[in-house]
């Protein structure tokens, strides 16, 4: 059976499902994530655009386009919760915090982080055993 994960925003108005293994799972330390999302680094599971289906509330899913970068943030118009964002490759980037919240507070092993990315751009040093890539 193929992997499949379902998520919803805080208020439940918007639901989406991703199918298949994520392309990337890890921590992104790039300046773009930091500036766009106001996080010190972004813990993410990333799927391709066509792996993600909005099952409910597509009319409440608002797309915010970054003023000059190829990045978007997708959030619920009812509760303001961010469901995912997209990167320059138009992949769908889901926060592992949202994954946890939709999975009883746990991160499934299949979605656990494997790497640190853009570690050279970091503002926070991480003392763990995961590979750290520039
Ligand atoms: Zn909502
Ligand atoms: Zn990033």
Ligand closest to CA 75? 1
24-65: pLDDT as tens digits: 999 999 999 999 999 999 999 999 999 999 999 999 999 999
For residue 61, what pLDDT is reported?
98
**Tens of pLDDT, residues 112-122:** 999 999 999 99
As residues whose CB is below 5 A from the ion ligand 2, the structure lists 28, 30, 33
Structure confidence at residue 2 as a pLDDT band (50, 70, 90) = confident
Q: Residue 83 Cα, ligand 1 centroid: separation in angstroms?
A: 9
Which ligand gives the minimal distance to the CA of 37?
Answer: 2
Residue 22 has pLDDT above 80, yes or no: yes
Measured in angstroms, how far is the CA atom of residue 89 from the centroid of ligand 2? 12
pTM for this entry: 0.95
Token couple for 110:
């299949």
Domains in the chain: boundaries: 4-121
Tokens at residue 30, please?
Answer: 């790039």
The full DSSP string for 69-103 is SS-EEEEETTT--EEEEE-TT--EEEEHHHHHHTT
Q: Are 76 and 13 in contact (CB under 8 A)?
A: yes
Q: Which residues pair with 72 in a beta bridge?
A: 65, 86
Give the pLDDT band (50/70/90) at residue 127: very high
Could you tell me the distance, in angstroms and rounded to a whole number, from the CA of residue 127 to the centre of ligand 2? 19
Pick the CATH number of 4-121 from 1.10.10.10, 2.170.150.70, 3.40.50.300, 2.60.120.260: 2.170.150.70
With a cut of 70, say whether residue 1 has pLDDT above it.
no
């Amino acid at each position: 059976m193929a992997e499949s994960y379902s998520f919803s925003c805080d208020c439940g108005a918007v639901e989406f499902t991703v199918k298949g293994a994520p392309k990337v799972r890890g921590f992104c330390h790039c300046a773009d994530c930091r500036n766009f999302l106001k996080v010190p680094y972004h813990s993410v599971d990333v799927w391709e655009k066509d792996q993600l289906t909005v099952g409910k509330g597509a009319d409440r899913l608002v797309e915010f386009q970054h003023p000059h970068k190829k990045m978007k943030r997708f959030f619920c118009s009812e509760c303001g919760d961010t469901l995912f964002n997209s990167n320059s490759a138009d992949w769908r980037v889901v926060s592992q915090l949202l994954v946890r919240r939709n999975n009883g507070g746990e991160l499934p092993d299949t979605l656990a982080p494997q790497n640190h990315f853009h570690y050279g751009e970091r503002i926070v040093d991480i003392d763990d055993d995961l590979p750290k890539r520039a």
